């Protein structure tokens, strides 16, 4: 049986309060180490900023080398 089938057959018909209590119980049962922390992943904006600053640094280094 799939999660969707379980929901449709057993959970959907519960009262809102019961569904909220069930959701809370399920969330409390998930260990913290099972939750993926995405905060250290780079998004597209982070990558663009890094690329831009990398080129600024490269250009600055090349200019210094040319004037030395």
Model confidence pLDDT, tens digit, residues 28-50: 999 887 877 677 788 899 899 99
Tokens 């600053």, located at residue = 53
For the chain, which residues make up each domain, given as ranges?
1-27
Q: Is the pTM of this model over 0.75?
A: no
DSSP states of the chain:
--HHHHIIIIITTS-HHHHHHHHHHHHHHS-GGGS---TTS--HHHHHHHHHHHHHHHHHHHHHHHH-
68 vs 57: CA distance, rounded Å:
17
Return all residues near 14 (Cβ < 8 A) that are at least 6 apart: 22
Confidence (pLDDT) at 50: 93
């Amino acid at each position: 049986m799939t999660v969707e089938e379980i929901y449709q057959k057993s959970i959907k018909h519960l009262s809102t309060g019961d569904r909220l209590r069930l959701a809370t119980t399920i969330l409390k049962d998930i260990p913290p180490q099972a939750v993926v922390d995405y905060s250290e992943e780079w998004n597209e904006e982070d990558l663009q900023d890094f690329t831009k600053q990398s080129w600024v640094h490269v250009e600055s280094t090349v200019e210094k080398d040319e004037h030395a």
